[in-house]
Amino acid sequence: MHKAQIAALTAATLVVFGAYYGLADALDLVPGVLTASPADYTVQPFPTASAVAQEPDAASGLAADAPVPDAAELTALANTLAGDERVGKGTTGVSIVDVVSGEELVDVRAGSPLTPASSNKVPVAWAALSLMGAEHTLRTTAVLEGSTLTLVGGGDVLLAEDAGDPDATVGRAGLGDLARSAAAQLEAQGVTSVTVALDDTLFTGPTWNDAWAAGNESWVAPIQPLMVDVTAYPSGGYPADPAMDAAQVFADHLRAAGISVTGQVSRAAAGAEATELAAVESAPLADILSVSLKASDNTMTEVEGRLVALAAGEEASFDGATRAVLARLRDDGFDVSGVTMRDSCGLALGDKVPARLLAQIIARAAGDDAGTTGRSLMTALPVGGLDGTLDDRYVGISGAGTVRAKTGSLDTAASLTGTVVTADGRLLAFSVIVDGFEEGGLYSARMAIDDDLVSPLAACGCGG
């Protein structure tokens, strides 16, 4: 039989079989979707929920009775780090404090002043929050005297180039918004042409610290009281004159808003008779610190130090900032003896701070009675394996999510200052500084800090 005939007979058979099966399905004799029975589409009510509403449980915190780690075991960890060949000839200082009791559990050269690197930002942040408050904001203003419109810097170095975002921290205040508001006021007064000046006299002294080694220009901008978004330069390449660049942007927006700007932007303090036309305001200080501490932004921290100086009645310079920070710490009951601060951000090798002071600041901030100052500081610190300068550390090992700390990294010094929750649920404040290893040893020293001390602390089931 030909293949064509076989295929035709097979198809016919399938058609006949399908017809008979469909009839059987309609009569509900075999399984299928067809039926000859009348349809019943009566809608059934949803069942009534019978569970009794429950009040949500309060968020559980750390166990109040979590065991305190054995001090001898923790000291052994610190000594292991100090003797690790990966720290080379570096000097190691470690202080570990039980947050609940305030007791120092580990003292390995904890009182020795060492180069803290960016852990130096911790005392600056405490002083700023303690003196100015978490809700403090920074105003950038435009003032008019005669035919001169002056842009006055108020310490905001996160300015948006154009429109601000009221829900953002970086770019909360916008130079474009400021210019348009000022232009509207000028037009209301019948003014169509102005000269523009920049007033950046809020800060005094040099914009560069002579305690910083050459090459650090990649890590810090000239310190001035206004700048268009300093975070836009993660790999350096900062403008030579950030404040003047911001003033040029402001002038361009004035022109776009219909105001004629004559001549070049000049530098001059606003006169005593100048009238404020418009202002824009930064995010609160607590949010600003969260940006600067998580990213370890040197420029922002130097600005914050100067703002502390202004609030304390000091001159807003490098020296005035460090004097004001130390004075505030002293007023708040911290022992600052032996401390040398050459800058706020920690780039200076001449900075010398004991690990004990750093750990005590963190222990105070993490305590139950720390208030807004402490909560804001702790919230601003990077979290292991999650964000900021700790986003790539403790990934897949003990410490991810349980270490919250400020990092510090220089060519010859490494540090880490923050809190860790042990496996037993005990909250510890700590600071570790390794100072004086050979150049090129930063990565090894950092690994030793994590491997020998901090990650074992997080994994510690060593209740005494």
Q: Tell me the pLDDT tens digit for each residue of 138-162.
A: 999 999 999 999 999 999 999 999 9
Q: Which two tokens stand for residue 95?
A: 């202080």
* pLDDT above 70: residue 275: yes
* pLDDT above 50: residue 24: no
Lowest mean pLDDT among 56-70, 357-371, 389-403, 431-445: 56-70
* Single pTM value for the model: 0.86
Band of pLDDT at residue 29, cut at 50, 70 and 90: very low
**Average of per-residue pLDDT across 366-374:** 93
Amino acid 205: pLDDT: 95
**Average of per-residue pLDDT across 187-210:** 97
Q: Tell me the pLDDT tens digit for each residue of 398-426.
A: 999 999 999 999 999 999 999 999 999 99
Band of pLDDT at residue 463, cut at 50, 70 and 90: confident
Q: Tell me the pLDDT tens digit for each residue of 307-342.
A: 999 999 999 999 999 999 999 999 999 999 999 999
* pLDDT above 50: residue 3: no
* pLDDT above 90: residue 43: no
Question: In this structure, are strands 266-267 and 193-199 parallel, antiparallel, or unpaired?
Answer: parallel
- What does pLDDT average to over the chain? 89
Sketch out the chain's domains with CATH numbers: 1-36 (no CATH), 71-133+288-301+312-458 (3.40.710.10), 139-283 (3.50.80.20)
Q: Tell me the pLDDT tens digit for each residue of 166-187.
A: 999 999 999 999 999 999 999 9
Amino acid 35: pLDDT: 44
Amino acid 234: pLDDT: 81
